[in-house]
Amino acid sequence: MPTPNKAASVAELKDAFQSSNAAVLTEYRGLTVAQLKTLRRSLGENAQYAVVKNTLTKIAANEAGITALDEHFAGPTAVAFVTGDPVESAKALRDFAKENPNLIIKAGVLDGKALSADDIKKLADLESREVLLSKLAGAFKGKQSQAAQLFQALPSKLVRTVDALRAKQAEQGGAE
């Protein structure tokens, strides 16, 4: 029979899984408390980084409908629950892992889909959502201005063609 504390922990973790856009499992073996504090700060307000108990977290993940992470709940595990932009959090974790090789990214889940450690690294290589949207808007704006130039060119070309035909007819009419 589970204790009330364990049941509350499972409920809290389940809620964290359900309310986050993504979750990234890491192994933190060998990191100091100061390094973990630095990692939490680097994740910012987009993510909550929590050291967790594997059994309770596995139960909570399963109750939240996430079973793809079951094999990764071994060893010292911490979870980054991402509520903001997953790309920014993946970048923060990747950059921290480069500086601190003791942090190992195990796996993750994004919108209910399982991610491997390599997938998370690829996600970290993406540009942020805002940058991608601004590039898309710039591309649309460029195409619109090209279309506008084309549409403006058509009437003026038509006028020049009509003028050339009139001039040619005038020459032919004057030559007869």
Residue reference for tokens 């540009």: 127
> What is the pLDDT, as a whole number, of residue 142?
67
CB-side exposure of 61: number of CA atoms within 13 Å?
26
Determine the pLDDT at residue 24.
Answer: 92
- Res. 1: pLDDT tops 70: no
Residue 175 scores a pLDDT above 70: no
Q: Has residue 140 got a pLDDT over 80?
A: no
Contact assessment for residue 68 and residue 18, using Cβ atoms and an 8 Å cutoff: no
N-to-C CA span, the chain: 112
DSSP H helical segments within 64-100, as ranges? 86-99
CB 79, CB 101: distance < 8 Å: no
**Dihedral of CA 86/19/111/77: which sign?**
positive
Average pLDDT, the chain: 84
**Considering the chain, what percentage of its residues have pLDDT values greater than 70?**
93
The residues with which 78 forms a beta bridge, in sequence order, are 26, 51
10-21: per-residue pLDDT in tens? 899 889 888 888
Predicted pLDDT at 134: 82
